[in-house]
Amino acid sequence: MIIRAVPRRRLLQGAASLCFAPSFLRFALAADVPRFALGIASGQPQPSGMVLWTRITGADLPDQIEVTWELARDDAFKQIAARGVETAQAAWAHSVHAEPSGLEPGRRYWYRFTAMGQQSPAGRTATAPAADANASLNFAIASCQRWDAGHFAAWRHMAQEDLDVVMFLGDYIYEYSSRPDVIRRHEGLVANTLDSYRARYATYKSDPALQAAHASAPWLLVWDDHEVDNDYANLQSQTLEVNFEQRRAAAYQAYWEHMPFPKSARPRGADMRITGRLDWGSLARIHLLDDRQYRDPQACPKAGRGGAATVMQKACAELTDPKRTLLGFEQEQWLANGWDSTRPWNLVAQQTLMARYSWRDPSNGDGLYWTDGWDGYSASRNRLLGTVSDKKLKGVVVLGGDVHSNYVADLKANFDDDKSPVVATEFCGTSITSTALPQDRINAARRFNPHVHYGRGDQRGYMRFALDAKQLQVQLRVLDDVMNINSNISTAAQFRVEAARPGAMPV
Ligand SMILES: [Fe+2]
């Protein structure tokens, strides 16, 4: 429910009825239980609104809780632009997804919640610019924040950046149990039920640095595999477990409950649409893709299993089978029909490395490929990049994560042909914490992949971008030590891309 421009008298009446509701008395003794222990968040910025998120916490919650939200033009909340009341329900983990509307485009706002006699911390958010507005875009990409692999120092630094948008590209949680010797343990065993996924999100969202990053800017989010199960593909799990559809439904529900997605995105059974599109003024169209929910199973798996393998091209004809798809044919078509030739940039926010990365010399069919990424679905990749080439789009930039490494690459219509033109640019960002392959293996394969300009698996952090109509500037922000909660961060490398010419140039 949205209430705009509420007269002060009505607001006070509302507050009074909240305070004296009989249900409130039952919780009077629990006044010291934090009700906003998982922080707040905002996301999905549009020219006229965005989604404001929180989840009410405590072991003693009733089925329904009234939660008031406020959105202000200033950080002191003197100029209220909108306010409303939402009902947090136990059936949806007492999550709140408020959707203010009718706001000014291209503007910063501040928001906070009130429930059960407590007020949340305040967060900063923003609307997107109007579709025809001249705009710039400062944003960052991040992914893969495995709790037990390190501290979230990167988020503390991200919260200090002056960003319009944070794009999170998958692996918000990891479903695994933790070994005893890790720096901080996941609670419980493998997450595979609604309760255990909810508990896992609660663990991650208890982190103050992650909360600060959420409170600093609106986020755009896509998921990858670990929000459900390592290497799952559509309705097939890595271990070919029965009832995987039920597990996926539980995982998707918990994901929606904990992320700033609108009510319209609430999952139905094991389906939730995260695919989406956002225009950022006259500057860029942002496409958000889902590479998990609709994909074909990975090619040539190990016997009796699903999931990824690393296989020789000549031993696995499925790798190049045009009948296989990573995005699902419907989503492929949606993207093919949705490229924007009027704006200088198309940003593709998706999960994993799109550039071909062969682990051996790929001549004579001897290429060696990891089947979970785009290399396992090369016909799907060729269709996508072929459309970019056919439409003569210049400013296509693919953003990714998943491989826990910083890769900067040129994307080509045909990676096996040296003369094939560069059609797009790729920035695949490293993990917040999760560990990668040894650097010497990445180095050893670099010469087989000359379109890759940068490849580092030994860096943790995020990529920061400044986009205007002429160029994209990129900084690879890298922690000194992911195991140090107070780690410093620095810029390991910088690149730029010109809107008129695809391809990454070192700065
Ligand atoms: Fe990951």
Q: What is the domain-level CATH number for residue 103?
A: 2.60.40.380
| Cα 53 to ligand 1 centre (Å) | 24
| Cα 154 to ligand 1 centre (Å) | 15
| Cα 373 to ligand 1 centre (Å) | 12
Q: Which residues of the chain carry a pLDDT beneath 50? A: 1-29
Q: How far apart are CA 79 and CA 161, in angstroms?
A: 25
| Predicted local confidence at residue 14, as pLDDT | 35
The answer to whether residues 306 and 432 belong to one domain is yes
Residue 179 in domain:
yes
Residue 482 in domain:
no
The answer to whether residues 303 and 207 belong to one domain is yes
| Cα 268 to ligand 1 centre (Å) | 26
The answer to whether residues 292 and 359 belong to one domain is yes
| Cα 104 to ligand 1 centre (Å) | 37
Q: How far apart are CA 372 and CA 366, in angstroms?
A: 18
What pTM value is reported for the model?
Answer: 0.93
| Predicted local confidence at residue 507, as pLDDT | 96
| Cα 262 to ligand 1 centre (Å) | 25
Residue 133 in domain:
no
| Cα 18 to ligand 1 centre (Å) | 43
Residue 470 in domain:
no
Query: Which residues lie closer than 8 Å to 358 by C-beta, 6 or more apart?
Result: 367, 368, 369, 375, 445, 448, 449
Q: How far apart are CA 159 and CA 217, in angstroms?
A: 8
What is the per-residue DSSP string for 398-455? EEE-SSSSEEEEEEES-TT-TTSPEEEEEEE---SS---S-HHHHHHHHTT-TTEEEE
| Cα 223 to ligand 1 centre (Å) | 10
| Cα 171 to ligand 1 centre (Å) | 5
| Cα 55 to ligand 1 centre (Å) | 25
Which residue, of 68, 92, 126, is where some domain finishes?
Answer: 126
Q: Which amino acid is at 263?
A: K
| Predicted local confidence at residue 369, as pLDDT | 97
| Cα 73 to ligand 1 centre (Å) | 37
| Cα 329 to ligand 1 centre (Å) | 25
The answer to whether residues 159 and 14 belong to one domain is no
Q: How far apart are CA 103 and CA 72, in angstroms?
A: 10
Residue 315 in domain:
yes
| Cα 143 to ligand 1 centre (Å) | 7
| Cα 403 to ligand 1 centre (Å) | 6
| Predicted local confidence at residue 430, as pLDDT | 98
The answer to whether residues 79 and 187 belong to one domain is no
The residue to which tokens 């009074």 are assigned: 16
Q: Supply the CATH number for residue 230's domain.
A: 3.60.21.70
Token pair listed for 335: 């993207």
| Cα 226 to ligand 1 centre (Å) | 7
407 touches 454 (CB < 8 A):
yes
What is the per-residue DSSP string for 233-283? BTTB-TT--TTHHHHHHHHHHHHHHHS---GGG--BTTB----EEEEETTT
| Cα 367 to ligand 1 centre (Å) | 24
The answer to whether residues 161 and 48 belong to one domain is no
The answer to whether residues 187 and 312 belong to one domain is yes
| Cα 399 to ligand 1 centre (Å) | 15
Residue 173 in domain:
yes
What is the per-residue DSSP string for 164-206? SEEEE-S-SS------TTSSSPPSSS---SHHHHHHHHHHHHT
The answer to whether residues 200 and 301 belong to one domain is yes
Domain span including residue 414: 138-462
| Predicted local confidence at residue 320, as pLDDT | 95
Q: Which of 251, 202, 219 is nearest to 142 (CA)?
A: 219
Please give all residues whose CB falls under 5 A of ion ligand 1, grouped by chain where several chains appear: 144, 171, 434
| DSSP E strand stretches across 319-430 | 345-349, 368-370, 396-400, 406-412, 422-428
| Cα 225 to ligand 1 centre (Å) | 8
What is the β-pairing status of strands 345-349 and 284-288? Answer: parallel
The answer to whether residues 177 and 301 belong to one domain is yes
DSSP secondary structure letter of residue 208: H
Nearest-5° Cα angle at 435, 479 to 300: 145
Residue 503 in domain:
no
The answer to whether residues 245 and 223 belong to one domain is yes
pLDDT in tens, 317-328: 999 999 999 999
| Cα 430 to ligand 1 centre (Å) | 9
| Cα 195 to ligand 1 centre (Å) | 22
Q: How far apart are CA 102 and CA 109, in angstroms?
A: 13
**3-state SS, one letter per residue, for 276-292:** EEEEECCCEEEEECCCC
Nearest-5° Cα angle at 336, 335 to 339: 75
Residue 132 in domain:
no
| Cα 76 to ligand 1 centre (Å) | 38
| Cα 15 to ligand 1 centre (Å) | 44
Nearest-5° Cα angle at 421, 417 to 423: 120
Which residue, of 126, 146, 178, is where some domain finishes?
Answer: 126
Give the count of domains, the chain: 2
The answer to whether residues 90 and 209 belong to one domain is no
The answer to whether residues 300 and 333 belong to one domain is yes
